[in-house]
Amino acid sequence: MIEYGDTDREILDCHVHMGWDAPDGIETLTAPYTWENMAEVQASLGYDHVGEKKAQRSLTPEEIIEAMDAGYGPQSQCNVFPFNEGDRNVPDPNGVLIPFHYANDRVLWAANEYEGRFNPFCRVDPNGTTGSEGPYAAVYEVVRCRLEGAEGLKLHPRAQKFAADSDESATVARVAGALGMPVLLHSQARPDLIDQDNPEDVIMCEPYRMGKLAEKAPDTTIIIGHSGCGGSSRVVSAKARTAAVTQAADVAASHENVYLDLSITMPFSLEDNEVEKPEDVGKYTLGLTDIILSRHQEYEGRILFGSDLPFGKMDSSLRTYERVAGRYGIAGDEDGAIKAGTMESLFAPMEEVPVQEIAGIVREYIEQHEPFWNRRAKQLSQELEQVATVEELEGALYSYVQDTGKAEDLPGGQPVPVKT
């Protein structure tokens, strides 16, 4: 564990999960959980929050703060966003399904409750909902969360089964950019298919797709989560992981709006053959963090430190980063920028919602993708052409999802109020 004296090092961890990942076999809870009843809900499903049957990938705000204090010091901060939550498909009190609505509320509450420790990122599904396919629910939720204090957006193409460079993803990313929100995406390699398009594949988040997304959303900051090395080692080989990180570096070097997130690269970084798992020694010709940091001058400061808690450890991630950074002469202001300054610079205060710009982005999607017989979509386009306030924008999008969605077909019950 890193020891701190009177002066704490300033760290802003760009990649931390908060909440409770959907356990295997439990895709949708019947009602949203709250921070207060989280342990009770877990126990009802056969899990302990701690102990031998610890709920899979579960973190409360207090646990994250404890980890930050121990690994970075009490002045540290982190970006937080929901896991692939089990209550992500529970309808709201009106019966309207806005995926991740309750999970986003929990993250926003935590950021407000522990002011100065968490930068809240909302999470959405660009695919839409049952019966209401398309980015409409996601756009509504991004706008809503931004107004409630969200600083950024997290997308997970593998979990939600959409291509990172799809038009739906690009529409949501463009809206986030218009709102001044950086977009962080999970990225990883496909086994043995690094540079090939395959519509049957459910990964669809290789780094090269992030480059295509950056081109479709040129005014949006795109962060390649894990710099391409995400995914379990059970399904992504060492060779594929190394190639994906190299691909991520190439994408960042050629796109000025693309940033690299170092989270989870550190356990695969070699220093005198020291790695966290002895069986990994010799698998890599160059450590994954080394691949990124050895080319640091090519990205013009677009590197972000992160841990991927709980999948990565904060203290060991920081130790490994500092060791590898020293090898490539990264120190002083550049080191401070990677640890915190660059991420901080991506957060912009929102003076007002660019209503017309967002409406135009959604109308463009409708014109390009909705068939002529979808009269409700055409009606939405007409409504968006007339909106003048953020309330009208939200109302038009929400009504569309309400009219076209089929939340009653999904598991659900009377939602439990979320603490506010």
Encode pLDDT of 345-392 as tens digits: 999 888 889 999 999 999 999 999 999 889 999 999 999 999 999 999
Where do the domains of the chain lie?
12-345, 355-407
Looking at per-residue pLDDT, the higher value among 414 and 399 belongs to 399
CATH assignment, 12-345: 3.20.20.140
> What pTM does this model have?
0.89
Band of the pLDDT at 21, cuts 50, 70, 90?
confident
The DSSP secondary-structure symbol of 123 reads E
d(CA 62, CA 357): 38
Mean pLDDT of 258-285: 61
d(CA 325, CA 9): 16
Joined tokens for residue 341: 């300054």
pLDDT over 60 (residue 399): yes
What lies within 8 Å, CB to CB, of 205 at 6+ separation is 156, 157, 158, 163, 164, 185, 186, 187, 188, 230
> Do β-strands 183-188 and 152-155 pair in parallel, antiparallel, or remain unpaired?
parallel
Bond before 61 cis per omega within 30 degrees: no
Looking at per-residue pLDDT, the higher value among 1 and 21 belongs to 21
Encode pLDDT of 193-207 as tens digits: 444 554 445 578 999
Strand partners, 258: 222
Encode pLDDT of 43-76 as tens digits: 887 776 655 445 557 899 999 999 999 999 999 9
Contact 64, 70 (CB under 8 A): no
What pLDDT shows up at residue 264? 87
Mean pLDDT of 154-172: 94
Strand partners, 17: 81
| Coil, strand or helix at 404 | helix
Q: Above pLDDT 90, what percent of the chain? A: 65
